[in-house]
Amino acid sequence: MKDKFGREMKTLRLSVTDRCDLKCRYCMPEEGVAWLDKPQLLTLEEKIRAVETLVELGIDRIKITGGEPLLYPRLNDLVERLARLPLRDLSLTTNGTRLETLAEPLKKAGLKRVTVSLDSLDDERFKAITRGGSLKKVWDGLMAAEKAGLTPLKVNCVVLKENLEDVVDLARLTMDHPWEIRFIEYMPVTASVRLERSQGVPPKEVKAMIEAALGAMESVDGYAHAPSTDWRLPKAMGKIGFISSVSDSFCSRCDRLRLSADGFLKLCMAHADGLALKPLLQGGIPDAALKERIRGAVHHKPEGHSFWFTTPAPGEAMSRIGG
């Protein structure tokens, strides 16, 4: 399953809900968004059929996303079903607020690892960025995930000017934990957030800050198609990753597709291009025809995003796109 530029699609980000229990400043407008109604969402069986078809077409890495996927009531059932497929990786990205109690059941269901959002180690800054989140809940969730064996753990931090002073302390976590701390450049994906691009900090500046405080890092290998470039501090147990979505695009190595909670196969997070799978699934489309429609859509995957252009970003919130 390749696009017209020769990129082979191997990774799927599977959004199971558009709902979230936080309103992070870079993800959702302060007033929130209108949630999709249940009839608009894919059923569990529709999700499974769509994913099975994509796996037959070459997908072998799946990351479950949301909104906040731990809000999805049938998450364990979904993980159990997905874990039976011939996958190289089955992971989940979460804000961590409910992870403390769900980490062990998800591991038993077949989940391999988790990525947790953590934008600050300061209670008040964390609360401000997430608009009400609890740092303690997220930290307890991280500890529970590590204990359950949902490893290697990844921790995502979107770097803004307001949490820039947290960068060094977050990087220092890799000295004592075998985690990957990933610093993400703010992506102006959605106009609804109304956060100025100037609030973001280029990863080159973040890397320079870390090295000035903690020493020069050495480059380390990672998954060739991953969005991050990976580094390690001297004598560190873990790794540090930088995702330079705006200042140093990784589009040429992208192998991702996104399936939204309402069944839209999105080819690139910054473009509207894709294929509405829900009506096809509900219409009883044969397997061969479904594969042909998907192949045809994937062939037209855009060459790259347009974050640096002046055209308006999509109006939908990041929570609905699936991260």
**pLDDT tens digits for range 11-45:** 999 999 999 999 998 888 888 888 999 999 999 99
More confident residue, 321 or 76: 76
- DSSP 8-state assignment for residue 303: S
Average pLDDT, the chain: 92
Check pLDDT > 50 for residue 308. no
* DSSP of 201-257: --HHHHHHHHHHHH---EEE---TT-S-EEEE-TT-SSEEEEE-TTTS--GGG--EE
Measured CA to CA, the distance from residue 116 to residue 66 in angstroms comes to 13
Structure letter (DSSP) for residue 156? E
Q: Is residue 235 within 8 Å of residue 266, measured between CB atoms?
A: no
User: How would residue 223 be classed by pLDDT, with cut points 50, 70 and 90?
Assistant: confident
Across the range 38-53, mean pLDDT stands at 97
Span 39-64, average pLDDT: 98
Mean pLDDT on 105-110: 98
Q: What is the pLDDT of residues 67-94, one digit of tens each?
A: 999 999 999 999 999 999 999 999 999 9
Q: Please give the pLDDT value at position 323.
A: 58
Instruction: Give the bridge partners for 307, in sequence order.
Output: none
Domains of the chain, CATH where assigned: 11-321 (3.20.20.70)
Say whether pLDDT at 115 is over 50. Answer: yes
Cβ within 8 Å of residue 57, ≥6 positions away: 1, 9, 291, 294, 295
| pLDDT at res. 312 | 41
Q: Which residue has the higher pLDDT, 23 or 313?
A: 23
Which residues are 220's β-sheet partners?
A: 230
Kindly tell me the sign of the dihedral angle through the C-alpha atoms of 12, 14, 18, 23: negative
pLDDT confidence bin for 270, thresholds 50/70/90? confident
Instruction: Kindly write down the DSSP assignment for every residue of 22-81, as one continuous string.
Output: ---TTTS-TT--PPPPGGGSPPHHHHHHHHHHHHHTT--EEEEESS-GGG-TTHHHHHHH
| Strand order across the beta sheet in which 218-220 lies | 218-220, 229-232, 239-243, 180-185, 154-159, 113-117, 89-94, 61-65, 11-15, 256-259, 264-266, 274-276
pLDDT exceeds 80 at position 1: yes
pLDDT digits 0-9 by tens, 131-189: 999 999 999 999 999 999 999 999 999 999 999 999 999 999 999 999 999 999 988 76
Residues, the chain? 323
How much is the pLDDT for 280?
98
CB within 8 Å of 300: residues ≥ 6 apart: 3, 4, 267, 273
Q: Are 257 and 11 in contact (CB under 8 A)?
A: yes
Q: What single-letter amino acid sits at 285?
A: I
311: pLDDT strictly greater than 80: no
Percent of the chain with pLDDT over 90: 79
**At a CB cut-off of 8 Å and minimum separation 6, what does 122 contact?**
135, 166
Q: Is residue 253 within 8 Å of residue 224, measured between CB atoms?
A: yes
Burial class for 180, CB neighbours closer than 10 Å (0-12, 13-18, 19+):
buried
CA distances in angstroms from 120 to 95, 98, 229, 258, listed in the order given? 12, 18, 21, 27
